[in-house]
Amino acid sequence: MSNNTIITCAITGGHNSYANNFRGHPDYPVSPEQIANNAIEAAKAGAAIAHIHVRDPETGARSGDPVLFKEVVERIRDSGSDVLINLTSSEGARFIPGKDDPKTGGEGTTLIKPLDRLKHIEELRPDICTLDVGTFNFGDVIFVNTPEDLRIMAKRIQQIGVKPEIEVFELGHIEFAKKLIDEGLIDTPPMFQVCLGIPHAAPAVPEVLNLMQSRLPENARWSAFGISRAEFHIAAQSVGLGGNVRVGLEDNLYLSKGEFASNVQLVEKAVRVVRELGAEPASSAQARAILGLS
Average pLDDT, integer, range 270-284? 97
**Predicted local distance difference test score (pLDDT) of residue 23:** 65
As a whole number, mean pLDDT of residues 14-23 equals 67
Q: What is the mean pLDDT of residues 204-222?
A: 97
One DSSP character per residue, 137-179 reads EETTEEE---HHHHHHHHHHHHHTTPEEEEEESSHHHHHHHHH
Say whether pLDDT at 203 is over 80: yes
Under 8 Å between Cβ of 223 and 251: no
Whether residue 35 is predicted with pLDDT greater than 90 in this model: the reply is yes
In this predicted model, which residue has the larger pLDDT, 247 or 59?
Answer: 247
Domains by residue range for the chain, with CATH: 4-291 (3.20.20.70)
Check residue 1 and give its pLDDT.
42
CB-count burial class (<10 Å; 0-12, 13-18, 19+) for 161: exposed
Distance CA 111, CA 34 (A): 28
**Cα separation values, 218 from 7, 34, 222, 279, Å:** 21, 38, 10, 21
289 vs 294: CA distance, rounded Å: 8
Report CA 58 to chain centroid distance, whole Å.
24
Looking at residue 2, its pLDDT comes to: 59
Per the document, the length of the chain is: 294
The predicted-structure confidence for 235-265, as pLDDT tens digits, reads as follows 999 999 999 999 999 999 999 988 999 999 9
| φ and ψ at residue 96, rounded to 5 degrees | -130, 115
pLDDT digits (tens, 9 = 90+) for 84-133: 999 999 999 999 999 999 999 999 899 999 999 999 999 999 999 999 99
Give yes or no for a contact between 247 and 269, defined as CB atoms under 8 angstroms apart.
yes
pLDDT at 18: 61
pLDDT at 221 over 70: yes
Which residues sit opposite 131 in a β-bridge? 166
| Average pLDDT across the chain, whole number | 95
Mean pLDDT for 42-53 is: 98
What pLDDT, on a 0 to 100 scale, did the predictor assign at position 186?
98
- Whole-number pLDDT of residue 184: 98
